[in-house]
Amino acid sequence: MAAADISGGLLANLSGGGGVSDKTRKQMESLGYFGDDEAEERGTLSKDGKVSAGPRRATRTHADEDSKPKEFKTVDTKNAKRKAPVASRPLPMGGRRNPGSWMRKVWFRTAAVENYFGTGQNVHDAIENGERLLLQNPDSRLQHSNLIQALSYAGQLERAEEVARAWIERDRLDPEALSYLADIFARKGMRDESIRLLSGVVDLRADDKELHLRLAKAYDRAGERRFACAHRVMLADLDPRNSKIVMAAVRCENANRRGDRADAILANLDVTVRGRIERSSQGNPPRERTSGDLRINATWTGSDDLDIAIITPTGKRISWMGGHKRVFAQNVKSTGRETLGLTRIRKGRYLIEISRTNATDSMPVRGEVVIELLGRKQRISFEVHDKSAIVGRAVVRMESRMEPI
C-alpha cells in the first residue's frame, strides 16, 4: 500500500476524534506523524532524536500453552451456579441492555357478511376432481363423502343425492351416507322425510350418545316432548353416572306425567345422588341459550313455514334439527319468523339458506334476514321461488397482530 494512501486513512482516523490502535500508531511513527512529545509518551527519546520502543505488553502464544501441562477440572453440575438473570447482569457500554421489547403474536377473528353471488372456482375445481377420483375408486367411502360435500356446498343437490344413493346401494346401513341424504332431503323441502331418516340412523347406532342428544334437542324445539323424552331416557341408560343427563330424563318423564318411569330411572342410583336429582328435577327445564357468535333472525310474509339453515364449508347442514353441538333455535314451527344461531363459530365461509318445509309449495315467499356475526349486523332481503334459496354468506377469518408482553 502506498504511503499516501496510508497517511490519508490515518489522518481521517485522527480527525474523527477516536482512539488509535497500536498497529495504526506504528504505521504513523514510521511515516513521522508523531512528534518528540508524543514519542516520549510512548517510548524513550534518544539524544539523536530517535525513539526507542517502550515496554511491550506480554503476549501468550500457543507454544506457551502447549508447553504447560493441561489441568482438567471436574464440574459439579448439581451445585453449579445458574446464569444470572438478565436484570442482575451488568449493563453493556452505553447503558442500554436491549433497545427493543418482548412481543407476542395474538390471533383474533374478523367477520364479514356478504351477499351471495355463487361459489368460487375452487369449489368447481373440487367437484371436477372429486368426480374423477370417484370414477377411479367407485367403492371408496372417502371419495363419495368428499364429492357429496363439494356438491352440497355448491348447491348441486340433484347430483349430490345421486352420489348419496349410489353410496347407500353399496352399503345400505352406512350411517354417514344416510345422514348426508337426510340433509339433502331437508334442503329440498322434505323436512318430515329428513327427520324420519335421522331417526333411522339412531336405530343403526343405538349407542351413539351425540345422535340421541341431537334428536332430543330437535324434538324439544319442535314441541314433540314424547319423542324427545324417549331419546333422553336412552341417554340415561347409556350414561347413568352423568347426573345432568339423568336429571333431564327424570324431568322429562315427570313433565309427561309418567312418574313411574321416572322412579324406575332413579331406582338404580345411589341414595345421595337420587335425592339430589329428585330435588333438582322439579320445575321447568332450563331454557336454551339464544345468543352467540352467529345469530340469524328471519321474517317473511304469508303463512308458509320456512326453515333457516347454515351450510358449513364442508357442505354439512346446520338447522334446528341439529348438525352442530352449539346450535340454538327458536320458533322452529311458527309461520312468519324463525331464529337460528351458533354460540361459537370457527373460521370459514358459511352459507345462509332459507328452505321450504313442504316440497309441494310453489308460491314465491319474500322476507328479510338479520345476520349478526361477531358484533357485525346486516340486513338482507330474500325471495324463495324454488325449494330453497341461499341468501347470504358469513365469513370468519383469522388474523394476527403483535402486542408487547
Report, as an integer, the average pLDDT of 80-90.
55
Residue 394 banded pLDDT, cuts 50, 70, 90: very high
CA 54 to the chain's CA centroid: 73
Say which residues have a Cβ less than 8 Å from residue 359's Cβ, sequence separation at least 6. Answer: 188, 189, 190, 387
C-alpha cell at 204: 343403526
According to CATH, the topology of domain 120-280 is 1.25.40
Domain ranges of the chain: 3-57, 120-280, 294-404
The pLDDT value recorded for residue 5 is 47
Grid coordinates given for 310? 347454515
State which of 15-19, 121-125, 172-176 shows the largest mean pLDDT: 121-125
Cα–Cα dist 154/144, whole Å: 16
Tell me how many helices (H) and strands (E) the chain has.
Answer: 14, 12
Instruction: Give the burial class of 160: count Cβ atoms within 10 A of its Cβ; 0-12 exposed, 13-18 middle, 19 or more buried.
Output: buried
Residue 228 · residue 199 · CB < 8 Å: no
In the structure grid, which three cell numbers stand for residue 250, read together? 327424570
Question: What value does the mean pLDDT of the chain take?
Answer: 81
Q: What percent of the chain has pLDDT over 90?
A: 52
- Classified by CATH at the fold level, domain 294-404 comes out as Immunoglobulin-like (2.60.40)
Q: Look at 8-12, 87-91, 236-240 and tell me which has the smallest mean pLDDT.
A: 8-12
pLDDT of 125: 95
Query: Which pLDDT score, from 0 to 100, does residue 282 have?
Result: 67
Give the model's pLDDT for residue 317.
96
